[in-house]
Structure 1
Amino acid sequence: MANSADTKSASPPKPSYPPIPLWKLVIFQSAFTPEVLDHTYPGSGTLDDPYRVEWLPNDTRNPLIMPTWIKWMITIIQAFAFLSITFASSALSAADPQLEQRFAVSSTLVIADTSLFVLAFAIGPAIWAPLSELYGRQVVCILTYALTTLFSGAVVASTDIASVLVLRFFAGAFGASAITNSGGVVSDMFDARDRAVAMLAFIGAPFLGPSIAPIACSYLAVAAGWQWVAGLIAVFVGVAFVGVLFVPETYPPVLLRQRARKLSKLTGKVYKSKLDDGTKSPKAVIRIAMVRPWALLTRDPIVMLLSLYMAIIYGTMYMEFAAFPIVFVGSRGWTQANSGLSFVGMGIGQIIGVIISYLDNMRYKRVIDRLPAGTTVAPPEARLFPSLIGAVLLPISLFEFAWTNYPSIH
């Protein structure tokens, strides 16, 4: 039937060539094979009319048709790496009393640790996103996670609060590549119809990070001190860095660009990527990539409103990391070790949100099935339904939290 799911989904064909081993995918971006060299590309091979390099039919290097196990391995690694950064963002806040005592500073200054880390989240993506378009996601991820591990480890040896704040800021700035590049890696490997499930696996775990960090680290801070909490963060991020080393390049323009360079070197002819003809200078690519998000933000009301709404939600969540200890430790007399348990509700909410989103994705697929034949992507508004419910529940829950702040109310 014309409105069946098969006619809607533009799923990539299955590979007809032998799968490329993972180690070759990681080391060799061009994945050069005899089939690549023998393929007939459109063009004349000259500067005026270069050969336009494209994916071969059923090309095993095409991220969309890589083996499924490799796709999900990469998705899990990226989710874990993202989780390590979100965990690091709030983990040290569990040791605020120890930091105050060790460096003899006010609670206001110590809270700036989390604020600066999150502030770096806004600065980092403006750098890493354009660089990933120019040099690929693989090299940017490896570089940034290596530096995040380095700065996180250096926090352990800090001798004053200024060093802690500066090092945490840089750790957040380099770790912010997870916000932009990790999601891009997942999008590279899944088409629109199947991407939602992969994104749920990718987003669900990382957003648990800010919730589980205070639960785990509040006990550690009381038992062993703030340096052990900082050490745990460094180990967590370091393990994620090791995982990132096994993630191959997935950005198609960079992959085809590398293949074109290899073909040009071997044949002496001129090859250019079909997705990126190479006429733009690196400076132009970076300028366009940095300007485009701001143009969308200022010129598109929907982007502006949704970005503002997400900023408020994200900011509210991180303000709770400062508010919960005040309410439960200061007003209700909880111990510091037990104060992390106040974030259990937030973690449960994240899990419920993932389940609801998974179920809603089934509805989204039915929306696609009802669209005209040949349409593979539903309107963006089709995914908005769960947000409509959340938009009502969020202010109600915040009102309940404020209303029950008094110790006399359970």
Structure 2
Amino acid sequence: MKRITVTESNDSVWNGPQDPRKPANWSFARKWTIVVTTSLATFIVSLGSSIFSAAIPFVQAEFGVSSHVALLGISLYVLGFAFGPMVWGPASELYGKTRPLWIGYFFFCLLHIPCALATQISVVLVFRFLIGLAGSSMLAILGGMYVDFLLHPTERGISTAVFSAATFSGPSLGPIVGNIVATRWGWRFTIWATMVGAAVFGMLAFLSTPETSEVVIARRKARKVYKDTGNESILRQLPEETPNTSIFCQVYLAKPIRMICQEPILIFMTIYMSVVYGIIYTTFTMYPIAFTSYRGWPSVQASLPFLGILVGVLLACCMLAYHNIYYIPLLMRQTEVHVPERRLVPMILGSASFGSPGPPTHLYHGYLRRALVF
């Protein structure tokens, strides 16, 4: 079957550039409902990565494994975050945003069931990896989805702040929620609780989020008109082949690999983000040792220091939103154009503050874990 696609200026599909069916013309309420609900769903995905840290001592006791093996439940989940976007991102370019987004999220919810019912540590670890792999569809697709309907640079910057707050607040709250749940109902309920939260917030996001890719929407509308009327005047034939698995694997899956090999800025940013994520997730094992093993705090109280990370995340996101609300529009009024590099200011400040006091702070914390035992 030949591929049928729409011309951009076809009035039989769109009623002009101000057509309210176009994502860019949706109402303010609809746009930001999508941003908020999908960010909440992403919050659960990221929370699931660290909530397992509370289950580690229980997993060790039940399955008779070392702490190093139990910690793989966190490591493999995050490893799924690394590999999943290499599939979900290219899929969203070819098939639209919502289809791969909700396929991934559906399996993210579903795979919690065998993980919670597992009777062997190997099953737990395999499904933790698969859960992270499936849940990463939210991390990979939502940034591009927001660009589809948020056109102004300020709107895009604020949506980035909201999404970032959800993404990084989840790992900070995970150990706290996990310890409360695990001490009262057992470690398996940390998995059940994540699944329930994912189902609730995922349903809200699913009901609020239609397809946002204008090209995909137009293609679907044109095919419907063609099917109903047989009118080929609104269509034109393209030489490309119909999108299929072969094209997806040969063309789209290769894009991330080509980009990371050919774009130096992407290489450096990837390495930097890997270091940041590595340090954040190291605290999930470092804090329990420092506050539970050395200071003898109960597990719930020992997880409260993660609130410091949460406060830092929220302050950084507020700064990012402020920068986009006031600084970016001011420069746009002066130059009448938006320069993407202007967004680097908060990142530079954050990198400098992370790089200068960061290592000494961790050294100080490592020293105090022995010096101030109370």
Contact 1:82-1:182 within 8 A present in 2 as well: no
Contact 1:212/1:347 (<8 A) preserved? yes
Does the alignment pair 1:305 with 2:265? no
Question: Is 1:341 the counterpart of 2:341 in the alignment?
Answer: no
1:316-338 per-residue CA deviation (whole Å, 9 max, x = no partner) reads 11121122112222222222222
Distance 2:158 2:233 in 1: 37
What is the alpha-carbon distance in structure 2 between the residues aligned to residue 231 and residue 185 of structure 1? 29
- Aligned partner (choices 388, 393, 397) of residue 348 of structure 2: 388
Tell me which residue corresponds to 2:3: none
1:260 is aligned to 2:222: yes
Q: Find the counterpart in structure 1 of residue 293 from structure 2.
A: 330
**Mapped contact 1:142–1:244 kept (Cα < 8 A):** no
| Equivalent residue number for residue 237 of structure 1 | 198
1:197 maps to what in 2? 158
Q: How does 1:173-322 map to 2 (within 5 A)?
A: 173-193=133-153, 194-246=155-207, 247-270=209-232, 279-282=240-243, 283-322=246-285
Superposed counterparts of 1:9-48, under 5 Å: 41=10
Given that residues 257 and 272 in structure 1 are in contact (C-alpha distance below 8 angstroms), is that contact kept between their aligned partners in structure 2? no
> Which residue of structure 2 lines up, in the alignment, with residue 363 of structure 1?
327
- 3-state SS of 1:306 partner: helix
Contact 1:94 1:221 in 2 (8 A): yes
| Contact 2:81–2:133 (CA under 8 A) maintained in structure 1 | yes
Q: Are residues 285 and 167 of structure 1, via their aligned partners in 2, closer, same or farther at CA, if it must alter by over 3 Å?
A: closer
Amino acid at match of 1:289: Y
Counterpart CA distance in 1 for 2:101 and 2:177 is: 27
Distance in 1 of aligned mates of 2:30 and 2:42: 18
Counterparts of 1:339 and 1:198, CA distance in 2: 33
- Whichever residue aligns with residue 254 of structure 1, its letter is V
Residue 146 (structure 1) aligned to one of 96, 106, 109: 106
Pair 1:255–1:171, CA change in 2 (3 A): same
CA distance in 2, matches of 1:257, 1:271: 14
Paired residues of 1:158 and 1:164 also in contact (CA < 8 A): yes
Unpaired runs of at least 5, structure 1: 1-35, 43-50
Q: The residue matched to 1:191 in structure 2 has which SS?
A: coil
72, 80, 86: which one pairs with 1:120? 80
* Cα separation, partners in 2 of 1:137 and 1:355, compared to 1, 3 Å: same
TM normalised by structure 2 equals: 0.89
Question: 1 CA distance for matches of 2:361 and 2:123?
Answer: 38
Question: CA-to-partner distance for each residue in 1:69-92, whole Å, 9 max, x for gaps?
Answer: 111111111101110100101111
1:88 and 2:48 aligned: yes
Q: Percent identity?
A: 29
- Aligned-residue offset at 1:352: 0.5
Cα deviations by residue, 1:227-275 (Å, 9 ceiling, x for unpaired): 111111111111133123312111112111111211222332436789x
SS of corresponding position for 2:366: coil
Q: Distance in 1 between matches of 2:195 and 2:85?
A: 21
Alpha-carbon distance in structure 2 between the residues aligned to 1:302 and 1:400: 28
Stretches of structure 2 lacking an aligned partner (at least 5 in a row): 1-5
Deviations 1:132-174 (A, max 9, x none): 2222222222222111111112222111111111111111111
TM-score norm. by structure 1 comes to 0.82
Instruction: Indicate which of 22, 27, 43 corresponds to 1:67.
Output: 27
More helix by share: 2
Which amino acid in 2 is paired with 1:41?
A: N
Structure 2 CA distance for partners of 1:280 and 1:326, relative to 1, 3 Å: farther
Is 1:170 the counterpart of 2:170 in the alignment? no
